[in-house]
Amino acid sequence: MIANMAEKTGKPLEDWIKLAKASGHDKHGAVVKFLKSEHGMMHGFANLVAHKTLKSDAGSATDEGQDLVAIQYGGAKAALKPIYDKIISGINNFGDDVEQAPKKAYVSVRRKKQFAIIQPSTITRVDVGINLQDHSPTERLEKSGSFNSMVSHRVRLQNPEDVDAELLGRLKSAYDSAS
Q: Is residue 148 part of a domain?
A: yes
Q: How many domains does the chain have?
A: 2
Q: How confident is the model at residue 104 (pLDDT cuts 50, 70, 90)?
A: confident
Cα-Cα-Cα-Cα dihedral sign, residues 14, 42, 112, 116: positive
DSSP track, 134-152:
T----SSSEE-TTS-TT-S
Whether 43 and 95 map to the same domain: the answer is no
Whether 135 and 88 map to the same domain: the answer is yes
The pLDDT value recorded for residue 60 is 62
Domain that holds residue 74: 68-177
The pLDDT value recorded for residue 17 is 95
Res 61 pLDDT > 70:
no
Whether 50 and 85 map to the same domain: the answer is no
Range 131-142 average pLDDT:
91
The pLDDT value recorded for residue 146 is 82
Say what percent of the chain tops pLDDT 90: 65
Write down which residue in 30, 54, 78 finishes a domain: 54
Radius of gyration of the chain (CA): 17
Q: Is residue 59 part of a domain?
A: no
The model's pLDDT over 105-117, given as tens digits with 9 standing for 90+, comes to: 999 999 988 999 9
Range 37-51 average pLDDT:
90
pTM: 0.67
Whether 10 and 36 map to the same domain: the answer is yes
Whether 85 and 170 map to the same domain: the answer is yes
